[in-house]
Structure 1
Amino acid sequence: MLQAKARWNIGEADEPAVKTLSQQLGLSPLLSRLLVVRGMTDTTHAAEFLDGGTDHIHDPYLLDGMERAVRRIRQALESGERIRIYGDYDADGVSSTTLMVYLLRQLDCTFDYYIPHRVTEGYGLNTGAMNEAHKQGIGLIITVDTGISAVEEIAHAASLGIDVIVTDHHEPPEVLPEAFALINPKKPGCPYPYKHLAGVGVALKLAQALLGRWPEELLPYAAIGTVADLMPLTEENRMIVKMGLQQMRTTSNSGIKALLAVAGIPLREVTSTHIGFALGPRINASGRLLSADTAVKLLTTEDDREAERLAGELDLLNKERQRIVDEMAKEAFAQVERQRQESGILPRAIVLAQEDWNVGVIGIVASKIVDRYYRPTVILGIDRESGMAKGSARSIAGFDMHKALTHCEDLMDHYGGHYMAAGMTLDSGQLGEFARRLDQLAGEWLQPQDFLPLLQADAECDFSEITLESILDLEKLGPFGTGNPSPRFVFRGVKLSDLRTMGKEQQHLKLSLKGAGETASALEAVAFNKGTLSDWITPNARIDLLGELSVNEWNGVRRPQILMQDLQVTDPQLFDWRGTPKPGRKVADLCERLQRRPQGHDHLPPAVVVFRSWISAELREAAQGCALWYCDLEGHLHPAGGLAGSLPLHEARDIVLYHLPERLEQLHAVAVQAGAAERYYAAWGGAEDKNASQLPDRSQFKLVYGALAGSGEGSGTIPSLTARTRLAPEIVRFILDVFTELGFVEVQGENCRLLPVREKKDLTASLLYRSRMDRSEVEERLLYTTARELLGILSSTAHHTTIMMEGIL
């Protein structure tokens, strides 16, 4: 077995509705099924989703404050008043600022733009910037992607005679600023029907109102900000991004073309995925590490050479950003593990802080912590001089981060954000109480299952449905992103024909798969950054996997491919260690690999089962982190060291069968008691040594008995007996085990002594002796079978013995 890292929630489709859509709209069954799963059972609704356009765009004047804002801007245009665009330094803020630049250029007005520096000024409006605007003769400020919480700053601007129009999409606080106009679809009482516009989406609606038409030329910038800010790609947002991508593929914008070129993306093939993973990070890198001005200049320049230079700068900044993130993430992971080690548990909400952490990338690090541990997470950088901590938060389903921060607002100087992401500033002296409160809220709001990621799949699918045509057909559901994810499918019971790792550090996993049935077609599946899973999958495994479909093109050949998000093996697996020269090393390596397993998998140590009463020093050393068990000839299990006292065999997930058993019944007994076993490791250590399975003759038994009787007071050590008899150590130990069973000898560690003999017993009275006589059957069944057959023996004996025991009970 191999546990999935997440819970899988698989959609179910009403098959009659699927058939109706397929017939009436001429769609493939696979596409029809996805539409039904996603709630589009009506043919009209489905057709509108697939082919709809601007008829889904809402009237911008439904936004409360829009009419007042338009009137004020037109007044500024008529009087030649200087206007300042006030933006934010993330990709949404940059694209919002860019959109407004192009809008005001069209309107032929006097304007400039201003974006505060992330480190020296922080997020949002500040009084220093208001003072500078006053000195420079600015009469009107239009904010984009910011301003909804700037109560004091906007009041200060008003005292200087500056009107402020706020366009924002963040959660409104209880007290709103008294701006000249405040446009935010989330504002209490605002009748606008769609509440999930990005900051750039709100700016686009202002442009629509001012121009009196749908501004198609501005849609590429709206698409960039909407995708990069992880807004749901539903309803109006989906139309903005869909139409924006169409415009982008034929754009003449020098900056967009240069940015796509440096990212290696053909202009005509750009998708929402490219925005999210290539354009967005490079635009964000500008504001994270230096100034967002570079990104705005890139997107607003008309000089191709300047665009190429600026795109190169952003690309270098992004690489530097990646390096900084990697270093900070390692430090953050180490902090989490220290917290877990000190308290014995993982916090329900993770709060990490350190001096001089780069506040420009703390949000990315928070996302990495969530990816690994799946806990609401806050990462803060502490300013060494002021002692102030500036943080960024990322959340999980079921935990409203903005609401949680509101419960802690008395601890903070400033905060703002959304359900899943937020930012805050507070004194570092408050961090302990801040962490305590967030952890308490997580305990109150979340159930145990909420701490396991939830992966949504649209449907179960068969390999026969996966063709190039069907994959391309699915693109009609796009663009894909938050709220409208790329379709995901579950494939059950897939045969594994090949498994390998790839990448510079072998960090990626590649599987060659074959569906059920002899004529099923083969398909490749790739899992990025999951190379370590190769250690937990056997060549004979049948796999369930969850993933997205894609087209892999190599040397001009196009093939369907699965991009895996998760996988599981539902049946026990057997790892074939037979023939390993030093199985003790394999045991030690297994312990280390189990400890390194990522969050979402159990961290139980393995159980090592031996079938000999004596255990070598090498094995004891290797198995210090294991539960060591001895199975006697009768099939009874006895703790033999390590962690056996705290880990019962029936709880163990990984079980190493270290020695070849003397009797098949011993193996049966282990299989029955190992009720939770997911993985067996058959080492059969010592089986390669012929002495370990040889049946000594009666003269050798007499030789050992005589040597022991001839020693002082009938006692001695095993090494001394080995030296005196010149027999192999394995032979001597076997003879002593037989004598012990017959009551002739007592063995403690390496020491042994004769016991008084009360009655004569033949060697055949020893079960161990008789078992060794029948050794050939054990070797035939356990040494000379395939791994699949060996697993079948374990599974069938466990099932058969369980039935027998149930019958007896």
Structure 2
Amino acid sequence: MIDWKQRSGTELAPELVAEYQLSPITAKLFSLRGINTAPKLDFWLNANETDLASPSLMHDLDKAVERINRAIDEGEKITIYGDYDADGITATSIMVETLGILGADVHYFIPDRFKDGYGPNMEAYQRIVANGTKLIITVDNGITGLDEVAYANSQQVDTIITDHHKFQAELPDSYAIVHCNYPGQDYPFDDYCGAGVAYTISRALMQDSMPELLELAMIGTIGDMVKVSGEGHIIVKRGLEIINQTERPGLRALIKNAGLKIGQINETDIGFNVAPRLNAVGRLANASLAVELLLCENDEEAQTIADQVEKLNEERKDLTMRVYQSCLKQIKRNGWQSKNTLVIYDPDFHEGVLGLVANKIVEEVHKPTIILTKNEAGLVKGSGRTLPGFNVFDALNPLKEDYLVKFGGHDFACGLSMEADKISPFRAAFEASFKGTKELPTKYYDFELPLAGLSLETITDIETAGPFGTDNVQPIFSISQPEIASCFYMGQEKNHIRLTVAKNGGNLEVVGFNQKDLTRVLLTYLDQLFIQLGKNSYRKQVKLQGILTGISFTAPAVSLTTPVVDLRHEKYVMGFADSYLLFDKQNQTLASSMYGLDPAKIMPISDYDGKGEMAVLLDVPHNQKELDEALTKDYGQLYLRFLLDRLPVQSIPAKSAFAAVLRYVYQHPGLTIDDFRQVARFLGLAYNSVLFILRVFFELNFIRLDQDKIMGVKNPPTRPLTASKYFLGVSAQVNFAQELRQMASSKLLMYVNQQLRLH
């Protein structure tokens, strides 16, 4: 769940609205973004590249320009050391193109994600130096290259570091460090991407504003998600204007293959279509191909390279989906649904898509997730993503000494590597690091959207406050107490929803992607829809459309007279209740993270002493006695969900499964508990089912542990499975949970209401 809050701001003076001819929606958006004075409005609406600050204000920039010009004058070989993402690709292209215009002997090197890794690499520096380079210029990396720069210095090769990433405790002994966020520098903008820094150097080298490079700097800015406010606003706004008239053969071919039209490209197209295609090259091949595309001057050659890029992008999408589906199967097979965190490993996963897949898994299961694979050298490498409220960098940083070979990242993402034998203990340590979220994440919306009078002109009004991105987010509007005039589920899997929303004489079509859990039953509980506005083009018709970004629920007045509501078959948890009650306190952190519920509202039912509240039974009681005790409480309204459990298995394995596991133990003595992960796959069983069977066998004395090795007992006693108290106890819990979840609604409601009336 999200804690939605409305933005506030100082209203624009009427004379400003009149002077700049602003519509009411545009004026309101500017006021909520603090653009509320004549100078601020003038900058936002009229500033261009000539208004950018002097490059000389950036740390060491003049020193870098002096060294580059000397290298050009003396005919020294210069190598640009780039990076394999969209920012590094565009930054490299900017620097190579600029130095080429100046007549430099310029070359470039893009690290291979799989062979060289991210950033400075000693072997790469050694090859570059051996090839006769006298000046190395890094773009979008280098600030951590202490040893690499020291090596270059020892070979009388100068380095110029141009970067925007976080500083380490010690800086490289480079000839110059050009960094947009260098402490104490006078440059007024501190959040350029690598391409933005490269563009600033180009301006200084050329003594010109170099507008023809802005389209490249814009792609890097959006691709790297740095600020699009301040000077970032000029870069993106002017870059979009230029790319919509671009004569670059490479960009024209890339745009054509992406199904976009020059003249109609916006920041969303760059973020979702252009930058991902450049990124795809570095994910699956060497990103030098993408640099070739951007620097290409021939239409036919550009189309050939763009077709290769398109093929890689399609392969990237296919690989992402295959790894994603495999991860979902692992989660189910291993019984990890009740885990707070996920560490998923397969040596056959493609390293290039791990971060994309981790992000998709987090969106699907709402758990911090790390996806791992093994590279050709035998090292396990991975990427992690998290959800709001859990800082993955802070969680993993204390673990790096014991488990990790390399580690880096920030609040929401990380990259790491480890030895294969560390995976299991690392998985346990990461799970233990999860303490739950302490509060709901906050998101802001702009204002209540009046549906009457909306038109395509409204989009133009909104776009005046753009381009949108980091630090100038796409406007989000509220529609309170909407009337749902129609509801339709779309897509091959019916996982998208299209609503016609009506209010006060106006209506709007709203599309919700991946909202298959938002059923018609839940639509009656809608309180607010949070949407972004856009255009839907279909069969040469263009119409206004809302894109669903959030929902707030409330109990409808008609349901408040119903003391007990059965929502067992709904997957969506709506978040409007006063209390969420748990029979098993172990589910507390899981309930908060998985369903985004306010942790302050979640409690063990044994601690609940509310009076007349709206309460939810969120997990499954272990037995009927627990349920009956819960029904002695004083509720104003009770919702039945029974979504979570801590059952060792969801169903008791068949006798044939018990026989197969026991036979395998006797045929393969000496395996560890963890070895049975692979055994479970071989036997076609879920791992938690195998663990359940092994525990029953331990109790029955069919197997034993010998220094963590599982061995068969010679001449075991002949005993039925029902002689195991663990087997009987779990069977009773499983049967009760299944009955509670599958019981007819009328029967369950009759029982619950009857029990409540007794008290």
Instruction: From the superposition, tell whether residues 404 and 673 of structure 1 become closer, same or farther in structure 2 (CA, over 3 Å).
Output: closer
Instruction: From the superposition, tell whether residues 121 and 555 of structure 1 become closer, same or farther in structure 2 (CA, over 3 Å).
Output: closer
Match of 1:253 among 224, 244, 248: 248
**1:479 maps to which residue?**
467
- Give CA-to-partner distance per residue, 1:113-167, whole Å, 9 cap, x none: 1112111221122222122222211111111111111111221222222211111
**2:514 maps to which residue?**
529
**1:288 maps to which residue?**
283
State how far apart, in whole Å, the 1-side matches of 2:23 and 2:628 are: 53
**2:352 maps to which residue?**
360
State how far apart, in whole Å, the 1-side matches of 2:526 and 2:540 are: 31
User: 2:327 matched to 1:332?
Assistant: yes
> Which stretch of structure 1 is more off in the superposition, 267-276 or 309-318?
309-318
- Contact 2:89–2:290 (Cα < 8 Å) also in 1: yes
- Contact 1:169–1:197 (Cα < 8 Å) also in 2: yes
Structure 2 counterpart of 1:564, one-letter code: L
**Residue 52 of structure 1: how far off its partner (Å):** 2.5
- Please give the secondary structure, in 2, of the residue aligned with 1:104: helix
Match of 1:6 among 2, 5, 24: 2
State how far apart, in whole Å, the 1-side matches of 2:434 and 2:51 are: 38
- Contact 2:555–2:576 (Cα < 8 Å) also in 1: no
- Contact 2:518–2:572 (Cα < 8 Å) also in 1: no
Match of 1:389 among 380, 383, 392: 380
Instruction: From the superposition, tell whether residues 20 and 441 of structure 1 become closer, same or farther in structure 2 (CA, over 3 Å).
Output: farther
- Contact 1:513–1:524 (Cα < 8 Å) also in 2: yes
**1:234 maps to which residue?**
229
- Give CA-to-partner distance per residue, 1:743-787, whole Å, 9 cap, x none: xxxxxxxxxxxxxxxxxxxxxxxxxxxxxxxxxxxxxxxxxxxxx
Structure 1 counterpart of 2:77, one-letter code: R
User: 2:143 matched to 1:143?
Assistant: no
- Please give the secondary structure, in 1, of the residue aligned with 2:352: coil
State how far apart, in whole Å, the 2-side matches of 1:511 and 1:63 are: 51
- Contact 1:650–1:675 (Cα < 8 Å) also in 2: no
User: 2:553 matched to 1:558?
Assistant: no
- Contact 1:340–1:346 (Cα < 8 Å) also in 2: no
Alignment of 1:439-518 (within 5 A): 443=435, 447-449=437-439, 452-464=440-452, 466-516=454-504
Match of 2:69 among 70, 74, 77: 74
State how far apart, in whole Å, the 2-side matches of 1:438 and 1:128 are: 33
State how far apart, in whole Å, the 2-side matches of 1:477 and 1:9 are: 20
- Contact 1:458–1:488 (Cα < 8 Å) also in 2: yes
State how far apart, in whole Å, the 2-side matches of 1:285 and 1:599 are: 37
Instruction: From the superposition, tell whether residues 142 and 385 of structure 1 become closer, same or farther in structure 2 (CA, over 3 Å).
Output: closer
**2:612 maps to which residue?**
none
Instruction: From the superposition, tell whether residues 574 and 287 of structure 1 become closer, same or farther in structure 2 (CA, over 3 Å).
Output: farther
- Please give the secondary structure, in 2, of the residue aligned with 1:448: coil
Match of 1:173 among 168, 171, 179: 168
User: 2:340 matched to 1:346?
Assistant: yes
- Contact 1:10–1:460 (Cα < 8 Å) also in 2: no
State how far apart, in whole Å, the 2-side matches of 1:268 and 1:310 are: 23
Structure 2 counterpart of 1:382, one-letter code: K
- Contact 1:149–1:416 (Cα < 8 Å) also in 2: no
State how far apart, in whole Å, the 2-side matches of 1:46 and 1:482 are: 19
Match of 2:532 among 535, 548, 553: 548
Alignment of 1:666-677 (within 5 A): 675-677=637-639
**2:416 maps to which residue?**
424
Structure 1 counterpart of 2:279, one-letter code: N
- Contact 2:50–2:209 (Cα < 8 Å) also in 1: no
Structure 1 counterpart of 2:281, one-letter code: S
Structure 1 length normalisation: TM-score? 0.68
Structure 2 counterpart of 1:497, one-letter code: A
Match of 1:88 among 63, 83, 88: 83
Structure 2 counterpart of 1:100, one-letter code: M
User: 2:257 matched to 1:262?
Assistant: yes
- Give CA-to-partner distance per residue, 1:494-521, whole Å, 9 cap, x none: 11111001223322211112113xxx02
- Mind listing any 5+ residue stretches in structure 1 that lack a counterpart? 576-586, 607-640, 652-668, 680-793
- Contact 2:390–2:437 (Cα < 8 Å) also in 1: no
**Residue 271 of structure 1: how far off its partner (Å):** 1.0
- Contact 1:550–1:560 (Cα < 8 Å) also in 2: yes
Structure 2 counterpart of 1:383, one-letter code: N
Instruction: From the superposition, tell whether residues 55 and 78 of structure 1 become closer, same or farther in structure 2 (CA, over 3 Å).
Output: closer
- Contact 1:502–1:531 (Cα < 8 Å) also in 2: no
State how far apart, in whole Å, the 1-side matches of 2:247 and 2:113 are: 31
- Give CA-to-partner distance per residue, 1:477-504, whole Å, 9 cap, x none: 1111222221110101111111001223
**2:709 maps to which residue?**
none
Structure 2 counterpart of 1:369, one-letter code: I
**2:664 maps to which residue?**
none
Structure 1 counterpart of 2:89, one-letter code: V
State how far apart, in whole Å, the 2-side matches of 1:62 and 1:159 are: 30
- Contact 1:171–1:417 (Cα < 8 Å) also in 2: no
Instruction: From the superposition, tell whether residues 152 and 410 of structure 1 become closer, same or farther in structure 2 (CA, over 3 Å).
Output: farther
**2:58 maps to which residue?**
63
Structure 1 counterpart of 2:71, one-letter code: A
- Please give the secondary structure, in 1, of the residue aligned with 2:226: coil
State how far apart, in whole Å, the 2-side matches of 1:436 and 1:59 are: 52
**Residue 212 of structure 1: how far off its partner (Å):** 1.6
- Mind listing any 5+ residue stretches in structure 2 that lack a counterpart? 560-565, 583-620, 642-748
State how far apart, in whole Å, the 2-side matches of 1:19 and 1:439 are: 56
Moved over 6 A (4+): 598-606, 648-651
- Please give the secondary structure, in 1, of the residue aligned with 2:351: coil
Query: RMSD across aligned C-alpha pairs, in angstroms?
Result: 3.7
- Give CA-to-partner distance per residue, 1:635-666, whole Å, 9 cap, x none: xxxxxx99655457989xxxxxxxxxxxxxxx
State how far apart, in whole Å, the 2-side matches of 1:396 and 1:70 are: 43
User: 2:227 matched to 1:243?
Assistant: no
Instruction: From the superposition, tell whether residues 200 and 109 of structure 1 become closer, same or farther in structure 2 (CA, over 3 Å).
Output: same
> Which stretch of structure 1 is more off in the superposition, 91-100 or 77-86?
91-100
**Residue 248 of structure 1: how far off its partner (Å):** 0.6
Structure 1 counterpart of 2:638, one-letter code: A
**1:783 maps to which residue?**
none
- Please give the secondary structure, in 2, of the residue aligned with 1:122: coil
**1:746 maps to which residue?**
none
Instruction: From the superposition, tell whether residues 84 and 648 of structure 1 become closer, same or farther in structure 2 (CA, over 3 Å).
Output: farther
Instruction: From the superposition, tell whether residues 105 and 493 of structure 1 become closer, same or farther in structure 2 (CA, over 3 Å).
Output: same
**Residue 599 of structure 1: how far off its partner (Å):** 11
Between the aligned residues of both structures, percent identity stands at 31
**1:410 maps to which residue?**
401
Structure 1 counterpart of 2:356, one-letter code: I
**For the pair shown, which has the larger CA radius of gyration, 1 or 2?**
1
- Contact 1:650–1:673 (Cα < 8 Å) also in 2: no
State how far apart, in whole Å, the 2-side matches of 1:169 and 1:497 are: 50
- Contact 1:90–1:284 (Cα < 8 Å) also in 2: yes
Aligned residues: 603
Instruction: From the superposition, tell whether residues 385 and 674 of structure 1 become closer, same or farther in structure 2 (CA, over 3 Å).
Output: farther
- Please give the secondary structure, in 2, of the residue aligned with 1:675: strand
State how far apart, in whole Å, the 1-side matches of 2:508 and 2:56 are: 52
- Contact 2:199–2:217 (Cα < 8 Å) also in 1: yes
- Contact 2:407–2:417 (Cα < 8 Å) also in 1: yes
- Please give the secondary structure, in 1, of the residue aligned with 2:234: helix
> Which stretch of structure 1 is more off in the superposition, 350-359 or 123-132?
350-359
- Contact 1:649–1:673 (Cα < 8 Å) also in 2: no
